[in-house]
Amino acid sequence: MLFDNKEVVMRLFEFGDLDGVSNLYHIYLREYLVFFYKVFGYYKLWVPSFSNFIKRVGKNKYLECCSGAGEPLTLIDSQLDKNEVGLVNYLLSDIRPNPDVVNKFNQNQLSRFRYIENPVDVTQDLDKFDCPKIFINSFHHFSKKQVEKILINNFKNKNEIVVLEYVSNSLLGYLSMTVGPLVVFLTLPFLVKLRHLPIMALFTYVFPLFPLMMLWDGIVSCLHEHSVEDLKQIVNKLGLDIEISAEKKRSMLYPAGVSFLTITFPE
């Protein structure tokens, strides 16, 4: 761990979490996150561990929390051997679900992915979602107090939790975040819709607000990563019988590596 992640005074904000930030930032932050998944292949590093998790848990319904655009989960699922894991059904959720994203997923009635239309706060009691929980590059958004609530709520029904993160509180993790703004400079004209291009180009090439905001969010995300040690301290404080394990996978394209963390509740 590069920096101590103790919340002593205040928790740094991320622009992607603020309602007052322009909707264009939220739209293209999500677009670029999905683009990074595909280009750097983060999701492929998670596939073996995710497959083992699904087989070990042995359930056919899972709730993804803080789904955002929802595509990372579909990318991971597309790589699973269905003969081994079976056909798993996924509920996608978010505290601020985007209607366009919701409609995209729900227009196919036969899909194994359904996006919940109403806001879902995963720190609250989720008895109606009695199933294992999935967090893909989102767990770091929660404070330690919120993590406590998530653990307590899921402990009641012994709902396993899996946390997939590509941010890390390490030197390589922070250095990897500098790549994002560079990619934005090179690809913006090809990824942004034509009607949004003038304003996005203005705040990328003339006033580089968009890439700087993205860089800030990436660095803060790394700083907020919950390590195994952090989570074990929370578990000890709560006095709950919870097991935590983690794996790290790296590739040539992403040497900083991704983490795969499981939280289980022994019988």
- Kindly report the CATH number assigned to the domain that includes residue 257: 3.40.50.150
Does residue 187 lie within any of the structural domains? yes
pLDDT at 8: 37
Q: For 129, which DSSP code?
A: S
Per-residue pLDDT tens for 190-229?
999 999 999 999 999 999 999 999 999 999 999 999 999 9
| 1 located within any domain | no
Total-model pTM: 0.93
Asked whether residue 8 is domain-assigned, the answer is no
Report which residue type is found at 159. Answer: N
Token match 């400079």: residue? 185
Distance, CA of 35 to CA of 21 (rounded, Å): 21
The answer to the question of residue 5 being in a domain is no
Number of independent structural domains in the chain: 1
pLDDT digits (tens, 9 = 90+) for 87-103: 899 999 999 898 999 99
Distance CA 73, CA 40 (A): 15
Give dist(CA 169, CA 223) in Å, integer. 5
Choose among 37, 17, 45: nearest CA to 183. Answer: 37
In a domain, 2, yes or no: no
Task: List, for the chain, all residue ranges whose pLDDT scores fall below the cut of 70.
Answer: 1-10
Give the percent of the chain with pLDDT over 90: 83
